[in-house]
Amino acid sequence: MKYIYAIFTFILMVNTSFSQDRYITKQGTISFFSHSPVEDIKALNNQVLSIMDVESGDIAVSVLMKSFMFEKSLMQEHFNENYVESDKFPKATFIGKILNIKDLGNTGIVLIEGDLTIHGISNKIEVEADIEAEGNIVSITGVFNVLVADYDIKIPSVVRNNIAKTIEISFSLNHKEYN
């Protein structure tokens, strides 16, 4: 995992030095929602790092898993220790590209494609998102779903009915111009 994080950091640093069209946020928001007949589980993380290049459409996101906050502390403990194993896999990352960024004006719907890595497993995903550029801020918001099984997250049979097989992930990234 340290190797992947080192590569991610290197890519961000090298790419940042070559472009004036970079935007960054260190306080993006990602939340997830699991609905099951037994209970709903919600978590919020507002310490999300993201950098994007509006010229090329490149975007990278890094999420510290232990920064997700839950309504119940026991849920947070189980999430970190039993499910995503935050000590072993401390970050989730997304490295991708906004495919149609050059076709937009100041607002619109973009298609984002790339690799989402959670729990040490990477999968290609495609997400539609809203983008809005105003002044020196570029905001991207969207919602997508992931299957828990796609990321090799084991749910004990005792609580299997409490956790949905498909998790809804929402994100809001308000990037500011990077100088």
* Separation of alpha carbons 34 and 169, rounded Å: 9
Chain segment 42-55, per-residue pLDDT in tens: 999 999 999 999 99
pLDDT at 5 over 70: no
Question: How do residues 144-177 score in pLDDT, each as one tens digit?
Answer: 999 999 999 988 888 888 889 999 999 999 999 9
pLDDT confidence band for 179 (50 / 70 / 90): confident
164: CB partners within 8 A, 6+ apart: 34, 35, 36, 148
30's torsion region: left (phi>0), alpha (psi -120 to 50) or beta? beta
Both tokens of 157, joined, read: 């049979």
CA dihedral 25, 49, 75, 3 (to 10 degrees): 180
72-95 pLDDT, tens digit per residue, is: 999 999 999 989 999 999 999 999
Across residues 10-28, what is the average pLDDT? Answer: 68
Per-residue confidence (pLDDT) for residue 20, from 0 to 100? 60
Is residue 13 over pLDDT 80? Answer: no
What H or E segment, with its residue span, contains residue 77? helix 73-78
Q: CA-CA distance, 174 to 120, in Å (whole number)?
A: 27
Averaged pLDDT score across all residues of the chain: 89
CA separation for the pair 82, 65 (Å, rounded) = 13
SS3 content of the chain, % helix, strand, coil (to 5): 25, 55, 25
Cβ atoms of 56 and 46 within 8 Å: the answer is no
Burial 37-55 (b: 16+ CB within 10 A, else e): eeeebebebebbbbbbbbe
- Residue 16 confidence (pLDDT) above 70: no
Domains of the chain: 2-177 (2.40.128.110)
